Amino acid sequence: MRRIFGSLIVTLLLWSLPMEGSSEFPITLDPSSQYDPQIYGDIVVWVDQRNGNRDIYGYNLVTKEEFPITVDTGDQLWPAIYGDIVVWTDYRDSPGGKYPTELERSSSENDNIYGYDLTTEEEFQITSDPSSQDHPQIYGDIVVWEDRRNGNGDIYGYNLVTKEEFPIIVDSNDQCNPQIYGDVVIWIEWRNGNPDIYGYSVTSGNEFQIAIHSDWINIFELAIYGDTIVWAEKRDDNFHIYSYNLSTEEEFQITRGENSERYPAIYGDIVFWTDHRNGNSDIYGYNLFTKEEFQITSDPSSQTPGAMYGDIVVWTDFRNGNDDIYGYNLSAIRSPTPSPTPYSTPSSTLFHLSVELYIILAVVAAVIVGIFVQKKRVKQKTRKKVEKAQVKKAKSELLTCPLCKNEVQENWNSCPYCGVRLKDDTQIY
């Protein structure tokens, strides 16, 4: 038992020490540019220009190994990841295979959505329409993207299981920047003459309004997690971060700084964004549960947020004179009570647990196993003592007559078989 409690004390002491990766850490420091990081589980993916064009690379946070996902000579941009599937926009079929500037965009542009299975290491094509499809997002088996096959921006989807493509919103006005969580797809659109936010349920096929404004208001950069939607919006002289709850249908403002806040992202109770209050672009966060704001990066260079999974935030960082990918572990400041996450699978839920909770579970399991082993040892020792006593008693009871050698009992005075006397005043046979 002393050994058990000794082990428990050592484990708790280790738990109380700062954990490896509990602060900021670099993910890739190649001298070329790496940007637009996305994360799911232990895998981070990003756009990488080390080969002279734009490719997609990945990094395993556990094995600390970097690996290429696609290195086609054309450009690949806007990666997204869910589970073992990575998707992106691919320009290999466009003229020159390069991502065009806004001035170079034309009807002949032909960028498609491609995917890659990290388990099978197989690449596959999702769209093949000769127009432009870009900005893909993925959740579960559904991939969504912005599609220009009808001459303007619409939103389409694809089921990876049934391999069926389907329209989500086809309207004569532009729709852009689709995001998906569970079966809910959201996007920005201009059907009312100004940018508004709409949503769509993949399950029911119903479309619904989220944020409608009668005046011209700039809305950029959407994100969704569970029932919470966040976006950057310019209602006064600066951009600020706003949020909307799909369940309560309530909108509220998250930031109110004197400078602009842009590029919001969300995971669980944490919303984070790029903030210019310090004269450069830092990353700040807000805990929806505790209502507390906190700073994530403080380097004097520029940082642009990418994504978050579990306790890990990843972003694009310019501190080394080029774009690199950095990460930060928020386990010390995250809320212990995360928001409900509908549509999560048992496998993904395991990733939501913090490292501290894994340690607590391990300690409890070790104590239970130790107590069980100790009780088993005590029981074995007791059984051995009883067996020895029984053997000794049995041996003492098996006496024989010194004359006829028949078995006799200790309390007999004479042998019933031959009549010899068994006891006298000085001897017991």
Worst-scoring range by mean pLDDT, 52-61, 242-251, 329-338?
Answer: 329-338
Query: CA 409: distance to chain centroid?
Result: 77
- Is 404 found in the same domain as 384? no
Burial label, 120 (beta-carbon count in 10 A; 0-12, 13-18, 19+): exposed
E runs forming strands in 318-358: 324-329
Note whether 88 and 61 are same-domain residues. Answer: yes
Asked if 46 and 115 sit in the same domain, the reply is yes
For residue 192, name the pLDDT band (cuts at 50, 70, 90): confident
For residue range 255-292, what is the model confidence (pLDDT) as tens digits?
Answer: 998 999 999 999 999 999 999 999 999 999 999 999 99
Q: Where does the pLDDT of residue 426 fall: very low under 50, low under 70, confident under 90, or very high at 90 and above? A: very low
Query: pLDDT at residue 346 above 60?
Result: no
Assess whether 416 and 364 both reside in one domain.
no
If you average pLDDT over residues 302-314, what whole number do you get?
Answer: 95
| Whether residue 109 sits in one domain with residue 7 | no
Residue 191: is it exposed, middle or buried by C-beta count within 10 angstroms (0-12/13-18/19+)? middle
Is the Cα dihedral 362, 363, 368, 370 positive or negative? positive
Q: Find, among 149, 167, 154, 152, the residue nearest to 205 by Cα.
A: 167
Q: Is the dihedral of CA 141, 143, 149, 152 positive or negative?
A: positive
Identify the pLDDT of residue 79.
Answer: 98
* Range scoring the smallest mean pLDDT among 3-7, 98-102, 407-411: 3-7
Residue 414 structural domain: 398-429
- Residue 57 to residue 66: CA distance in whole angstroms: 7
What pLDDT score was predicted for residue 334? 57
Average pLDDT for 8-33: 63
Query: Tokens 């295979």 label which residue?
Result: 97
Share of the chain above pLDDT 90, in %: 61
Contact of 76 with 63, CB cutoff 8 Å: no
Is 74:98 a contact under the CB 8 Å cutoff?
A: yes
- Which residues lie across from 234 on neighbouring strands? 218, 239
Higher pLDDT, 11 or 316: 316
- Between 55-59, 81-85, 371-375, 411-415, the lowest mean confidence (pLDDT) is in 371-375
Q: Round the average pLDDT of the chain to a whole number and report it.
A: 83
For residues 71 and 116, what is the distance between their CA atoms, to the nearest angstrom?
12
pLDDT digits (tens, 9 = 90+) for 384-407: 665 666 655 555 555 777 777 777
Q: Which helix (H) or strand (E) holds 352?
A: helix 346-352
Whole-number Å distance between alpha carbons of 317 and 322 = 8
Query: Could you tell me the pLDDT band of residue 21, with boundaries at 50, 70 and 90?
Result: very low
Mean pLDDT within 231-257: 92
Q: In this structure, are 378 and 402 located in the same domain?
A: no
Could you give the angle at the alpha carbon of 38 between the alpha carbons of 184 and 219, nearest 5°? 55
The tally of domains found in the chain comes to: 3
pLDDT at 425: 42
Q: Do the Cβ atoms of 315 and 37 come closer than 8 Å?
A: yes
Q: Retrieve residue 240's tokens.
A: 């600020």
Highest mean pLDDT among 123-127, 193-197, 374-378: 123-127
- Average pLDDT (32-46) is 98
Nearest Cα to Cα of residue 116 among 138, 87, 95: 87
The reply to whether 360 and 245 lie within a common domain is no
Domain shared by 139 and 195, yes or no: yes
Rounded mean pLDDT of 183-203?
A: 92
Q: What is the predicted pLDDT for the residue at 101?
A: 64
pLDDT of residue 10: 35
- Same domain for 343 and 428, yes or no, is no
Residues 6+ positions from 379 with CB-CB distance below 8 Å: none
Number of H helices, E strands in the chain: 3, 30
Percent above pLDDT 70 for the chain: 76
**So what's the pLDDT on residue 388?**
65
Cα–Cα nearest to 39, from 20, 61, 13: 61
Angle at which helices 2-16 and 355-397 pack, to 10 degrees? 170
Grade residue 240 by pLDDT with cuts at 50, 70 and 90. very high
Residue 282: which CATH number? Answer: 2.120.10.30
pTM of the complete model: 0.73
Same domain, 74 and 124: yes
- The 10 Å CB-count burial string (b at 16+, else e) for 249-288 is eeeeebbeeeebbbbbbbbbbbbbbbbbeeebbbbbbbbb
pLDDT band of residue 97 (cuts 50, 70, 90) is confident
Q: Average pLDDT, stretch 95-109?
A: 65
429 in the same domain as 329 = no
Same domain assignment for residues 276 and 404: no
To 5 degrees, how large is the angle CA 334–CA 308–CA 85? Answer: 140
Contact yes or no for 109/92 (Cβ under 8 A): no
Phi-psi region of 40 (alpha: psi -120 to 50; beta: other; left: phi over 0): beta
For 173, other C-beta atoms within 10 Å of its C-beta total 13
Instruction: Provide mean pLDDT across the span 232-241.
Output: 89
When mean pLDDT is compared across 92-101, 174-183, 239-248, 315-324, the lowest value belongs to: 92-101
